[in-house]
């Protein structure tokens, strides 16, 4: 694919950025339909920002502290529009977003969540799956809507829960699956979405 035809993607992070790194790595493939135009964060100290800079990706960081939700989201929105972004991938972005921001990116913003949605929206997903006696955990890539972790699921990967699993051991196996699932699901979504 000609690099100029790749859809510009922004990745929003708050922390370590391992899913972000997987998306950046996947974007190096010639046939990947997206190119990472910007990594943005509400946390200027996010480890992922350093990873992005080292990979030569433009970054934008602005703390949300002391700002109204709408005002902070407007700052992020301006940075995304200025960078010519067409798709947004949330990757460990620990912010509840305003309805206006979410609506502005409807159908173009995806998230990865570490559970088999609709199970275990919100936090602490692996502990909740183990305590419920579930046979499997996993991860889901979904469209972002104003309701937390509620949008249409476009891809999932299941991981068996084995005897002795803790939230940490399960999280580590699910995270590996996330790094495979997210780039593949995003690429498939962007390909299917072209022209829309
Ligand atoms: C991942 O488990 C992701 O599913 C969840 O937050 C975590 C982010 O990890 N939304 P990382 O920053 O991508 O390493």
Cα 196 to ligand 1 centre (Å) = 29
Tell me, in angstroms, the distance from the centre of ligand 1 to residue 91's CA.
Answer: 6
Pairing of strands 87-90, 7-13: parallel
Tens digit of each residue's pLDDT (9 = 90 or more) over 108-148: 999 999 999 999 999 999 999 999 999 999 999 999 999 99
Q: Which residues are CB-neighbours of 40 under 8 A, at least 6 positions away?
A: 10, 11, 12, 13, 59, 60, 61, 62, 76, 79, 80
pLDDT of residue 3: 56
Query: Does the beta carbon of 95 lie inside 6 Å of ligand 1?
Result: no
Predicted confidence at residue 195, as pLDDT, reads 56
Structural domains of the chain ordered from first start:
3-193 (3.40.50.170)
Name the token pair of 101.
């921001």
Residue with tokens 């046979």: 135
User: pLDDT tens for residues 92-104?
Assistant: 999 999 999 999 9
pLDDT for 193: 85
Does the beta carbon of 113 sit less than 6 angstroms from any atom of ligand 1?
yes
196: confidence class by pLDDT, cuts 50, 70, 90: low
Reported as a single tens digit per residue, the pLDDT across 36-92 is 999 999 999 999 999 999 999 999 999 999 999 999 999 999 999 999 999 999 999
């Amino acid at each position: 694919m000609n690099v100029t035809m790749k859809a510009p993607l922004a990745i929003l992070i708050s922390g370590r950025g391992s899913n972000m790194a997987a998306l950046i790595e996947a974007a190096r493939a010639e046939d990947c339909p997206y190119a990472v135009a910007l990594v943005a964060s509400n946390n200027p100290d996010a480890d992922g920002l350093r990873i992005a800079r080292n990979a030569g990706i433009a970054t934008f960081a602005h703390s949300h502290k002391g700002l109204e939700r709408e005002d902070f989201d407007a700052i992020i929105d301006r940075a995304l529009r200025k960078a010519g972004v067409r798709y947004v991938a949330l990757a460990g972005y620990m912010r509840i977003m305003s309805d206006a921001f979410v609506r502005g990116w409807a159908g173009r913003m995806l998230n990865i969540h570490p559970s088999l949605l609709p199970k275990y929206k919100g936090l602490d997903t692996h502990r909740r799956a183990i305590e419920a006696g579930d046979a499997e955990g996993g991860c889901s890539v979904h469209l972002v809507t104003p309701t937390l972790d509620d949008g249409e699921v476009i891809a999932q990967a299941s991981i068996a829960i084995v005897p002795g699993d803790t939230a940490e051991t399960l999280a580590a196996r699910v995270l590996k699956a996330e790094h495979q699932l997210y780039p593949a699901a995003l690429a498939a979504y962007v390909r299917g979405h072209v022209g829309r």
